[in-house]
């Protein structure tokens, strides 16, 4: 069964990603790997901070059956993202202890803070709209975001070395603004702030989203986005740029799929029987694995040649990295149905434990290889270990849920 709104989100957001992917052959020839390294460093930090700055309470918005609770959760998440964007971004930059080549520390911080807040707002209001079934608005905003970003990045290439950063910031701001306008137009007076005691009440009631969701979301973001920061520190900004182009090109369809699937499926799962929800998770996992196998094999054997032809002759290293990264990203796509099932059942602890074990495993091997100067080996080990971990996690969790139903 295909959930209501899933195809709308997938098509609209997919079209937005087509714009970004189609622009890569142009951007790859207009900007060098160092410029992409600057963008990659900022966006890696944004991925880490924006994943948790709302304390993951937005995931509860489509799950709650109360409109009053949903509105209180909206204000809670918006307030948290406003208060925490600066201190969290600053803390992460201090921990990284390195800035990209050609980027001042002030610019690095300002771009990270701005993008953290705007990205969090887009995420929050996407889940808010999913509760009302306004999936077309989310798809439209994603399209506008990428269109504005790409248009400005191409236009600014000749006059600004920071064109990539300026473009993506403008595109993200436009999508966030459209989200605010849509909420004001459709919610009217009900969009006003609820009583403070209502906000405190939902913070307590849904505290398991923060308690387990924040470390899980941060670990999930860290699992992929620590690598460009490590490359920045132990190799070069240009190497981080090569990784970022490969990673973002491969992650684009998975990001679209994951966002569409979560927004469409999370409100649906509570209406299904446990047997039907489990069967749906298994079927969707197998479909994702079947759909992603062929592209993964093609990239693994021909990634370097493909990237040199499509993105440009200086991007062969990105193609080689993409071949290995595709293995891990396929597993990341296949885990989405299992993660959604567990989130809907309040089993964030299981997800958290899985994230932590996989994170430790992949970086305990990758970091020593980076220290030894084996960049390709580090990325390959990092991706393969992650793929093995998530495959095992999904199989075990689906098996456990099946056994529990059988015993019941």
Please report how the helices 348-371 and 375-407 are oriented relative to each other, as an axis angle in degrees rounded to 10: 160
Task: Return the pLDDT at 97.
Answer: 81
Task: Return the pLDDT at 189.
Answer: 54
pLDDT at 275 over 90: no
Q: Cα–Cα distances in Å, from 210 out to 57, 115, 203, 268?
A: 6, 22, 9, 22
- Provide the residue ranges of all domains of the chain, joining segments of one domain with +: 6-407
pLDDT averaged over every residue in the chain: 88
pLDDT at 122 over 90: yes
Q: What is the pLDDT of residues 205-242, one digit of tens each?
A: 999 888 888 887 888 788 888 999 999 888 889 999 99
Q: What is the pLDDT of residues 312-358, one digit of tens each?
A: 999 999 999 999 999 999 998 899 889 888 887 778 788 888 889 99
| Residue 275: closest CA among 143, 97, 398 | 398
Q: Are 250 and 20 in contact (CB under 8 A)?
A: no
| C-alpha distance across the termini of the chain, in Å | 25
Q: Cα–Cα distances in Å, from 405 out to 275, 343, 350?
A: 7, 17, 17
Residue-level length of the chain: 408
177: tokens are 């603004």
Q: Is the pTM of this model over 0.75?
A: yes
Q: What is the DSSP string of 312-347?
A: -GGGHHHHHHHHHHHHHHHHHHHTHHHHHHHHHTT-
In angstroms, the CA 16 to CA 144 distance is 7
Residue 185 — pLDDT band, cuts 50, 70, 90? Answer: confident
In angstroms, the CA 82 to CA 115 distance is 12
Q: What is the pLDDT of residues 212-222, one digit of tens each?
A: 888 878 887 88
pLDDT at 50 over 70: yes
């Amino acid at each position: 069964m295909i959930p209501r709104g899933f195809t709308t989100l997938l098509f609209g957001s997919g079209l937005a990603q087509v714009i970004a992917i189609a622009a890569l052959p142009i951007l790859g020839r207009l900007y060098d790997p160092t410029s992409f390294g600057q963008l990659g460093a900022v966006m890696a930090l944004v991925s880490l901070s924006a994943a948790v700055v709302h304390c993951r309470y937005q995931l509860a918005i489509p799950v709650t059956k109360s409109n009053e609770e949903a509105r209180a959760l909206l204000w809670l998440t918006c307030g948290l993202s406003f208060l925490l964007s600066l201190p969290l971004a600053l803390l992460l930059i201090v921990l990284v202890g390195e800035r990209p080549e050609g980027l001042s520390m002030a610019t690095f911080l300002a771009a990270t803070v701005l993008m953290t807040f705007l990205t969090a707002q887009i995420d929050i209001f996407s889940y808010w709209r999913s509760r009302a079934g306004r999936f077309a608005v989310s798809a439209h905003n994603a399209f506008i975001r990428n269109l504005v970003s790409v248009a400005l990045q191409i236009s600014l290439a000749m006059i600004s070395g920071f064109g990539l950063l300026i473009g993506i910031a403008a595109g993200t701001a436009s999508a966030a603004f459209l989200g605010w306008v849509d909420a004001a137009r459709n919610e009217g007076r009900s969009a006003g702030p609820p009583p403070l005691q209502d906000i405190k009440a939902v913070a307590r009631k849904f505290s398991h989203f923060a308690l387990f969701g924040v470390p899980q979301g941060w670990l999930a973001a860290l699992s992929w986005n620590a690598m460009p920061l490590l490359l920045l520190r132990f190799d070069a900004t240009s190497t981080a740029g090569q990784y970022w182009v490969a990673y973002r090109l491969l992650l684009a369809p998975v990001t679209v799929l994951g966002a569409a699937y979560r927004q469409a499926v999370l409100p649906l799962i509570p209406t299904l029987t446990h047997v039907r929800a489990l069967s749906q998770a298994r079927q969707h996992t197998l479909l994702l694995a079947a759909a992603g196998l062929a592209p993964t094999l093609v990239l693994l054997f021909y990634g370097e040649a493909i990237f040199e032809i499509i993105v440009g002759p200086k991007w062969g290293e990105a193609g080689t990295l993409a071949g290995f990264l595709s293995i891990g990203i396929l597993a990341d796509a296949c885990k989405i149905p299992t993660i959604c099932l567990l989130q809907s059942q309040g089993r964030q602890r299981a997800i958290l434990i899985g994230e932590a074990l996989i994170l430790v495993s992949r970086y305990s091997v990758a970091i020593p290889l980076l220290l030894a100067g084996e960049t390709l080996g580090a990325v390959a080990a990092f991706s393969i270990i992650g793929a093995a971990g998530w495959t095992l996690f999904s199989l075990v969790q689906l098996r456990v849920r099946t056994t529990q139903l059988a015993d019941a």
